[in-house]
Amino acid sequence: MIKDSIIAVWFSCGAASAVAAKKTIELYGDSNTVRVINNPVAEEHEDNRRFLLDVQEWIGQEVEIATNDKYPSGSAVEVWEKRKYMSGVAGAPCTVELKKKARQQWEARNPVDWHVLGFVAEELDRHSRFILGERENVIPVLIDLRISKPECAQILSEAGIKLPEIYRHGFPNANCIGCVKATSPTYWNLVRKEFPEVFKDRADQAERIGARLVRHNNERIFLHELPVDAVGAPLKSMSIECGIFCEE
């Protein structure tokens, strides 16, 4: 039994982490201190902030903001420009600077006993890998309750909370628009269709830095080289998350 502990729920402005925050407070809030924290990124859809405020009212407590002191604007574009690196075998520096280091700085100032992330029922394997490779003090709230990703959306709908606008554009998560960890032609052509200015900005910066972000015909190419009709894996099969610990 968890009691008299400090529990940090890392809220990413996605449906799963929103429901994880609500359930954590319901299950553990009476006998523990539950803190809900968000690492904002400037390149997320602007409607994510509306969603955050709606969730804040729903859970009945403030969502705290944690940023990296070095990047108070929370801009991934700024990180890529300063690092001259966007994404590759070494991962993505935006995740390191805006998520991981922001989390580490927050933890250095705030003691935590347990963490909660938005792992849903169908992500038991991912959760298992996480606790082996990252840390063990994670409460798998949604997995224990057998709540799936579609059920998270349903719970929010029944609560009268509209999902972030980015979902309605066909994207599988509420990450940044134009997430540089994605390599799928399907993903990037959706960005080009729904947010052409973002696609152009990513393509221009990637070519200037030398980052071949998309994989087409088993070859990494620049976004400007991607055919408009190129397709890859279906978006719903993609698992690109951008929380405090990021994996693709």
Buried b (16+ CB within 10 A) or exposed e, 170-208: ebbbbbbbbbbbbbbbbbbbbbbeebeebbeebbebbee
- The domains found in the chain, sorted by start residue, are 6-247 (3.40.50)
Tell me, what's the pLDDT at 1?
A: 83
Tell me, what's the pLDDT at 238?
A: 46
Put simply, whether the predicted model's pTM sits higher than 0.95 gets the answer no
Residue 190, classed as helix, strand or coil, is helix
pLDDT digits (tens, 9 = 90+) for 61-105: 999 999 999 999 999 999 999 999 999 877 899 999 999 999 999
Residue 43, classed as helix, strand or coil, is coil
Enter the DSSP assignment of 110: S
Average pLDDT, the chain: 92
Tell me, what's the pLDDT at 130?
A: 83
The sign one gets for the Cα dihedral 75, 10, 6, 111 is negative
pLDDT digits (tens, 9 = 90+) for 133-166: 777 899 999 999 999 999 999 999 999 999 999 9
% the chain with pLDDT above 70: 95
Pairing of strands 241-242, 246-247: antiparallel
